[in-house]
């Protein structure tokens, strides 16, 4: 058992690989009536859960850990989705049938989408992060809708008709790698001096300034990298659904991420993983309830907030999220 | 010139409906600092009340409009009261964000509950004619198109707004509301019953939204689905912020700015008409971070 | 040359003159007190010195460098650290993280190292951890290192706030009512600590305090303010016997 304590990183990696193998096997082996247990529909659901996790964790960086209040995250997702889809579909006509060309282009395209989303984040964040609380929320929401309006009126992007024919580059492997890499990067940042400064800004901006932190710069940087991850998520999303529409990225979508975050627990990465995972899958589990599903779902939400105000996880983290504590020397002179 | 005036008039018409919704957002925000997302859905319920009650009212009272709007206001007021009691009150002294997420939950609940087959159903509905639409001839040949519905919208909104100003400025409970909005702890030390004040805000605001719903139905002649509140609600909310959220005249001003700019932008391109609200809002907030009439209060060190 | 040289500092808020023609020179190693009744403008002076407000008029030269118009964080980085009248800890962070945050602007690794947890990151983290735990030991807080700072008892929170200010390695420390809410025994301890701080960290200290016992016991020089004006200045003995001071606190004819 000591192995589990001493090699936490290794254990975590093994756990992820095993999860992947199990999901993959369940999606391939003919277990139910000659078909796999997890059919394409479920695989799509798992992929969506992964995308939602990255969206929520990146939103949590801004809202939960830096204490700002952004409610326009889907706008940045839209920027990434459209940028990457334009590159792979309209400009370079890539296809899955030629993966050796397709995948490198796909990866570069979603990164480009992330960068453009980050630039949008910079444009939105720089002037607005000096606004406090609800006003920041409203500016981000407006920016979200403004981005959507721009897409709607731009014919080259498909306008109100949407953009289709996107090659399906996003598969189980892509989602696994993308989710894990993104979450690890953001978790690393959080457990660093910069991450501590984020929380300092959240707890007391005045005191953070007084301890030498350039709070504006810190806030803008978090906002920008959060937008970057939202943009990349958008790219992965576009290449999963193969068709994107401006309405996929309305403020209603942003509010969904807000729900995932606060129900999971905004002040822990674990919460930002649990929230979207549970709330992406839960409505599907309630399929039998038919039209009652969407009535019961918000009730669960309200009850969770009333009885677990801090969200499911609160500020607690899963062990594999935390950085191992180093042993301090006992006495120093 | 005629074209310009026409858009202006259209803008004032839409602005009047936005104003009725925006007032509810701003009153609730002023008192409990909560963006009540479910307010948009109360507006929707108001509109549906018009659909269901108008035939009954027409039979009972002969005329439909006034009894329907009063009944709708009573029902949405009651709905607001119940909503606050059940969903928001348990969270009053907890984090504001959890209250906000709860508001989202209540909003989703109302939309989806109303879409159930035995409630309002998700189907498209033709709104009953509460008044017979007529064009009012305008002297001169500007080509203006003004209907009695337009006059009704503006007239009803103005009457309700005047009533609200009277209520807030002259009645005891109205003055208490302003005191609570200004400083809740002190107001409560002065013996003001906070619960009563909050309940009042959650009755009056939704009642106005209910009236807005009736005007909306009368103006557009149809109800698309129980999700119809989302976009007018968002616009009205933006209007409230534009004017300075928590500020009652600000909400009205914001609503008219919103309505008028939207009418002009829509005459160019319908998508632009939709987006203009947000561009204006961002522009104004960057220059005046607390809205047109809002007061900026920096944190004391 | 004086470490801090403030000349003709004036601060208006709208039409209200909160501070007028305030002058002060602090020599290296001094402990100077700023007293006066409520609303005299003391905290405003502190806020101007630390860049929270930009003064309407006047110059502030710290260590030969004009700091008027600089942002708060730049002034902290230049070597002026402060505590707050009402404690402002990073209350959801651990005690040790409070110290580490104050060391952030000296950290050697950048954003990329933070994302990738490079060698540089691990080295930096080890360094700051050692630094922080050593500092906590000096303030007898090492036992609470991993506790959430908001859960500390009041006295410990005050100590932590001072420790955090020191973690920025300042040369001038500004204390805003450090003895607020302390009983006489705790205040005695504080007085001892202020002297110890000055010697141990080679500091110059400027403080606002209402407890006269503390001010008189610890300051070498005192400045008295009333209604934004400086009404007198001198060694504690002199201030104690100045009728103007008495008048400012108690009113005419007292």
pLDDT digits (tens, 9 = 90+) for C23-77: 999 999 999 999 988 888 899 999 999 999 999 999 999 999 999 999 999 999 9
For the complex shown, is ipTM > 0.85? yes
Burial A64-99 (b: 16+ CB within 10 A, else e): bbbbbbbbbbbbbbbbbbbbbbbbbbeeeebeeeee
A12 by Cβ neighbours in 10 Å (0-12 / 13-18 / 19+) ranks as middle
CB atoms within 10 A of CB A316: 14
Show residues of chain A in contact with C126, CB under 8 Å. 326
What one-character-per-residue DSSP string does C22-91 give?
EEEEE-TT-EEEEE-STTSSHHHHHHHHTTSS--SEEEEEETTEE-TT--HHHHHHHTEEE--SS----T
Q: Which residue of A has its CA nearest to C121?
A: A192
pLDDT of residue A333: 43
Q: Determine the Cα angle at C42 with ends C40 and C45, to 5°.
A: 125
Asked if C88 and C95 touch (Cβ cutoff 8 Å), the reply is no
- Kindly list the domain boundaries of chain C, sorted by start residue: 12-79+170-250, 91-153
Q: Does B301 contact chain C (CB < 8 Å)?
A: yes
Which of A132, A149, A297 has the CB atom closest to B274's CB atom?
Answer: A149
Residues of chain C in contact with residue B301, where contact means CB-CB under 8 angstroms, are: 43, 47, 52, 84
* Disruptive mutation site among B295, B300, B301 for chain C (greatest number of C CBs within 10 Å): B301
8 A C-beta contact, residue B71 and residue B196: no
CA distance B255 to B291: 12
Is the Cβ pair C137, A332 closer than 8 Å?
A: yes
Mutate which of C51, C52, C54, C75 to test chain B, going by most B C-beta atoms within 10 A? C52
pLDDT at residue C253, as a whole number: 55
* C-alpha C143 chain-centroid distance: 25
Q: Which residue of A has its CA nearest to B101?
A: A259
Q: Which CATH architecture has domain C12-79+170-250?
A: 3-Layer(aba) Sandwich (3.40)
Nearest Cα of chain A lies from the Cα of C20 at a distance, in angstroms, of 24
> Nearest 5°: phi and psi at C7?
-125, 130
pLDDT grade for B274, boundaries at 50, 70 and 90: confident
Q: Which among A259, A291, A298 has CB closest to B117?
A: A291
Q: What is the DSSP letter of C139?
A: T
For residue C71, the distance in angstroms to the closest alpha carbon of chain B comes to 15
Q: Which residue has the tokens 């105000």?
A: A309
Does C111 contact chain A (CB < 8 Å)?
yes
Interface test with B, best of A138, A255, A258 (most B CBs within 10 A): A138
Is pLDDT at B2 greater than 80 in this prediction? no
Q: Is A302 on the interface with B (CB under 8 A)?
A: yes
B297 pLDDT band (50/70/90 cuts)? low
Partner B contacted by C84 (CB < 8 A): yes
Give yes or no for residue A329 having a pLDDT over 70: no
* Residue whose C-alpha is closest to residue B301's, from C13, A183, A12: C13
Q: Is B39 exposed, middle or buried (0-12, 13-18, 19+ CB in 10 A)?
A: buried
Q: Number of A:C CB contacts under 8 A?
A: 115
Is any Cβ of chain C less than 8 angstroms from the Cβ of A195? yes
Please determine, for residue A332, whether its predicted confidence score (pLDDT) is greater than 60: no
pLDDT reported for residue B71: 95
Which of B284, B296, B133 has the alpha carbon at shortest distance from B221? Answer: B133
Q: What is the mean pLDDT of chain A?
A: 89
Contacts of residue C165 in chain A, CB cutoff 8 Å? 210-211
C44 reaches B (C-beta below 8 A): no
**pLDDT, mean over chain C:** 92
Q: Give C-chain residues touching B298 at CB under 8 angstroms.
A: none
Of C100, C167, C168, the CB nearest to A196: C100
pLDDT above 70 covers a percentage of chain A that reads 95
Helix H or strand E encompassing A202 = helix A193-203
pLDDT at B186: 92
Do A116 and A79 meet the contact criterion of CB atoms below 8 Å apart? yes
The Cα A280–Cα A292 span in angstroms is 17
Question: Where is average pLDDT lowest: A103-107, A275-279, A302-306?
Answer: A302-306
Tally of CB atoms within 10 A around B147: 15
Mutation site for A-interface testing, chosen from B35, B36, B98 by largest number of A Cβ within 10 Å: B98
| Cα–Cα dist C221/B205, whole Å | 60
Comparing CB atoms, the residue among A143, A262, A299 nearest residue B98 is A262
Strands (E) across chain C are located at: 4-13, 16-26, 31-35, 57-62, 65-66, 80-82, 172-176, 204-208, 221-226, 229-234
pLDDT at A98 over 90: no
Per-residue confidence (pLDDT) for residue B162, from 0 to 100: 95
Tell me the pLDDT tens digit for each residue of C91-142: 999 999 999 999 999 999 999 999 999 999 999 999 999 999 999 999 999 9
For residue A225, what pLDDT is reported?
97
The per-residue pLDDT for C254 is 46
C165 touches chain A (CB under 8 A): yes
Per the CB < 8 A criterion, the answer to whether A136 and A128 are in contact is yes
Residues of B in contact with A262 (CB under 8 A): 97-98, 100-101
Chain C: nearest CA to A252, how far in angstroms? Answer: 31
Average pLDDT over residues B97-121: 90
Residue with tokens 């024919």: A165
The parent domain of residue A200 ranges over: 52-250
Q: Please indicate if any CB of chain B lies within 8 Å of the CB of C52.
A: yes
Q: Judge whether A75 lies within some domain.
A: yes
**Which residues are C59's β-sheet partners?**
C7
pLDDT band at A300 (very low <50, low <70, confident <90, very high): confident
pLDDT digits (tens, 9 = 90+) for A27-41: 888 877 777 888 888
As beta bridge partners, residue A35 has A32
Pairing of strands C229-234, C221-226: antiparallel
What pTM, to 2 d.p., does this model score? 0.90
Residue A1, pLDDT > 60, answer no
| Rounded CA separation C61/C2 (Å) | 9
| CB-based contact A135 B116, cutoff 8 Å | no
- Residue A45 C-alpha, separation from nearest chain C C-alpha, in angstroms: 29
**CA distance to partner chain A, nearest, from residue B6 (Å):** 25
Q: Kindly tell me if the per-residue pLDDT of B39 is higher than 90.
A: yes
Q: Specify whether the CB–CB gap between B279 and B287 falls below 8 A.
A: no
From A252, A291, A306, residue closest to B90, measured CB to CB: A306
A224 CB neighbours in chain C (<8 A) are: none
Instruction: Taking residues C235-245, report their average pLDDT.
Output: 85
Contacts of B87 in chain A (CB under 8 A): 302, 306
For C137-157, give one letter per residue: b (16+ CB within 10 A) or e.
eebebbebbeebbeebeeebb
Nearest CA in chain B to A260: B101
Q: Do C93 and A203 touch (CB under 8 A)?
A: yes
Tell me, what's the pLDDT at B296? 62
Q: Is C13 helix (H, G, I), strand (E, B) or coil?
A: strand
Chain B residue at shortest CA distance from C47: B301
For chain C, the chains sharing at least 3 beta-carbon pairs closer than 8 angstroms are A, B
A128 touches chain B (CB under 8 A): yes
Q: What are the backbone angles phi and psi of residue C66, rounded to the nearest 5°?
A: -75, 125
Partners of C43 on chain B (C-beta within 8 Å) are 301
Question: What confidence tier does B272 reach under pLDDT thresholds 50, 70, 90?
Answer: confident
DSSP classification of residue A32: B
Q: Is residue A158 part of a domain?
A: yes
C105/A213 Cβ within 8 A: yes
Quote the minimal CA–CA distance from B123 to chain A in Å.
14
Render pLDDT for B199-248 as a digit per residue (tens, 0 to 9).
Answer: 999 999 999 999 999 999 999 999 999 999 999 999 999 999 889 888 89
CB atoms within 10 A of CB A131: 19
pLDDT of residue C252: 64
Is residue A298 included in any domain, yes or no?
A: no
Averaged pLDDT for residues C144-153: 94
Number of domains in chain A: 1
Whether the predicted pLDDT of C7 surpasses 70: yes
Q: What average pLDDT does the segment B189-196 reach?
A: 92
Which residues 69-108 of chain C have a CB within 8 Å of chain A?
A: 71-73, 76-77, 81-82, 84, 88-93, 97, 100-105, 107
| Percent above pLDDT 70 for chain C | 98
- pLDDT category at A330 given cuts 50, 70, 90 is low
Residues 6+ apart with CB under 8 A from A249: A74, A75, A77, A78, A81, A144, A147, A148, A151, A234
How confident is the model over C157-167, as a mean pLDDT?
95
Alpha carbons C204 and C190: distance in angstroms, whole number: 16
Q: Of B234, B286, B212, B231, whose CA–CA distance to B35 is shortest?
A: B234
Distance to chain B for A86, nearest Cα, Å = 21
Please say if the pLDDT value at position A24 is more than 50: yes
Q: Which of A72, A149, A267 to mutate to test the interface with B (most CBs of B within 10 A)?
A: A149
Arithmetic mean of pLDDT, A111-123: 97
Comparing A5 with A311, which gets the higher pLDDT?
A311
């Amino acid at each position: 058992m000591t192995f589990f304590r001493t090699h936490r990183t290794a254990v975590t990696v093994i756990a992820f690989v095993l999860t992947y193998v199990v999901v993959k096997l369940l999606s391939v082996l003919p277990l139910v009536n000659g078909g796999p247990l997890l059919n394409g529909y479920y695989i799509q659901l798992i992929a969506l859960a992964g995308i939602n996790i990255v969206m929520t964790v990146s939103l949590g960086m801004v809202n939960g850990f830096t204490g700002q209040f952004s409610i326009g995250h889907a706008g940045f997702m839209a920027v990434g989705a459209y940028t990457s889809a334009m590159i792979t579909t309209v400009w370079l006509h890539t296809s899955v049938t030629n993966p050796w060309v397709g995948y490198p282009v796909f990866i570069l395209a979603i990164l480009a989408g992330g960068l453009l989303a980050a630039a949008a984040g910079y444009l939105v964040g720089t002037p607005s992060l000096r606004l406090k609380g609800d006003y920041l929320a409203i500016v981000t929401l407006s920016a979200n809708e403004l981005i959507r309006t721009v897409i709607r009126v731009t014919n080259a992007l498909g306008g109100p008709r949407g953009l289709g024919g996107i090659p399906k580059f996003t598969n189980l492997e892509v989602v696994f790698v993308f989710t894990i890499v993104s979450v690890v990067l953001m978790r690393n940042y959080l457990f660093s001096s910069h991450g501590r400064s984020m929380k300092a800004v959240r707890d007391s901006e005045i005191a953070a300034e007084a301890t030498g932190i350039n709070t504006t710069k810190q806030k803008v940087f978090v906002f920008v990298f959060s937008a970057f991850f939202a943009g990349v998520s958008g790219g992965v999303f576009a290449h999963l659904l193969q068709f994107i529409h401006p309405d996929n990225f309305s403020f209603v979508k942003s509010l969904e991420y807000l729900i995932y975050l606060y129900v999971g627990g905004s002040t822990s990465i674990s919460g930002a993983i649990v929230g979207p995972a549970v709330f992406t899958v839960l409505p599907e589990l309630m399929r039998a309830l038919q039209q009652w599903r969407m009535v019961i779902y918000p009730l669960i939400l309200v009850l969770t907030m009333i009885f677990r105000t801090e969200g499911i996880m609160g500020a607690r983290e899963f062990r594999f999220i935390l950085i191992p504590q180093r042993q301090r020397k006992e006495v120093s002179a | 010139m005629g074209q310009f005036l026409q858009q202006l008039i259209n803008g004032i018409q839409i602005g009047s409906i936005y104003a009725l919704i925006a007032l509810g957002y701003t009153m609730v925000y002023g008192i409990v600092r909560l963006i009540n997302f479910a307010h948009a859905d109360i507006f929707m319920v108001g509109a549906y009340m018009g659909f269901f009650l108008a035939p009954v009212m027409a039979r009972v009272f002969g005329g439909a409009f006034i009894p329907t709007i009063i009944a709708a206001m009573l029902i949405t007021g009651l709905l607001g009261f119940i909503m606050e009691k059940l969903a928001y009150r348990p969270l009053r002294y907890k984090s504001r964000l959890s209250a906000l997420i709860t508001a989202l939950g209540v909003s989703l609940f109302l939309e989806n509950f109303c879409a159930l087959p035995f409630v309002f159903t998700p189907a498209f509905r033709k709104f009953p004619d509460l008044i017979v639409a007529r064009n009012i001839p305008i002297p001169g040949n500007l080509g203006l198109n003004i209907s009695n519905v337009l006059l009704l919208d503006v007239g009803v909104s103005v009457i309700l707004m005047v009533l609200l100003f009277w209520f807030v400025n002259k009645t005891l409970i109205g003055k208490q509301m302003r005191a609570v909005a200004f400083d809740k702890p002190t107001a409560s030390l002065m013996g003001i019953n906070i619960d009563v004040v909050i309940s009042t805000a959650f009755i009056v605001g939704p009642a106005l939204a209910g009236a807005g719903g009736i005007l909306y139905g009368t103006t557009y002649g149809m109800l698309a689905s129980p999700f119809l509140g989302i976009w007018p609600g968002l616009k009205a909310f933006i209007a409230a912020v534009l004017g300075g959220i928590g500020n009652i005249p600000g909400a009205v001003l914001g609503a008219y700015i919103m309505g008028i700019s939207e009418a002009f932008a829509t005459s160019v391109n319908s998508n632009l008409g939709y987006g203009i609200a947000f561009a204006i809002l961002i522009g104004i907030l960057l220059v005046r971070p607390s809205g047109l009439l809002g007061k900026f209060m920096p944190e004391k060190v | 040359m004086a470490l801090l040289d403030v000349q003709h500092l004036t601060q208006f808020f709208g039409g209200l003159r909160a501070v007028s023609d305030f002058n002060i020179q602090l020599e290296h190693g001094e402990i100077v007190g700023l007293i006066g009744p409520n609303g005299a403008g003391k905290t405003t002076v502190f806020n101007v010195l630390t860049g929270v407000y930009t003064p309407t008029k006047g110059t502030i030269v710290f260590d030969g460098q004009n700091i008027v118009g600089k942002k708060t964080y730049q002034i902290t980085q230049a070597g002026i650290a402060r505590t707050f009248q009402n404690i402002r800890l990073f209350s959801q962070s651990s005690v040790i993280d409070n110290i580490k945050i104050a060391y952030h602007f000296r950290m050697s690794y950048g954003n990329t190292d933070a994302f990738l947890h490079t060698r540089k990151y691990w080295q930096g983290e080890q360094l700051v951890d050692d630094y922080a735990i050593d500092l906590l030991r000096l303030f007898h807080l090492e036992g609470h290192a991993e506790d959430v700072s908001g859960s500390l008892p009041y006295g410990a929170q005050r100590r932590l706030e001072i420790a955090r200010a020191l973690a920025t390695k300042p040369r001038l420390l500004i204390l805003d009512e450090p003895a607020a809410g302390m009983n006489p025994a705790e205040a005695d301890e504080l007085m001892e600590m202020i002297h110890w701080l000055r010697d141990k960290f080679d500091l110059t200290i400027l403080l606002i305090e209402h407890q006269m016992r503390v001010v008189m016991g610890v300051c070498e020089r005192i400045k008295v303010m009333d209604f934004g004006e400086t009404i007198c200045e001198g060694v504690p003995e002199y201030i104690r016997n100045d009728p103007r001071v008495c008048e400012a606190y108690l009113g005419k004819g007292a």
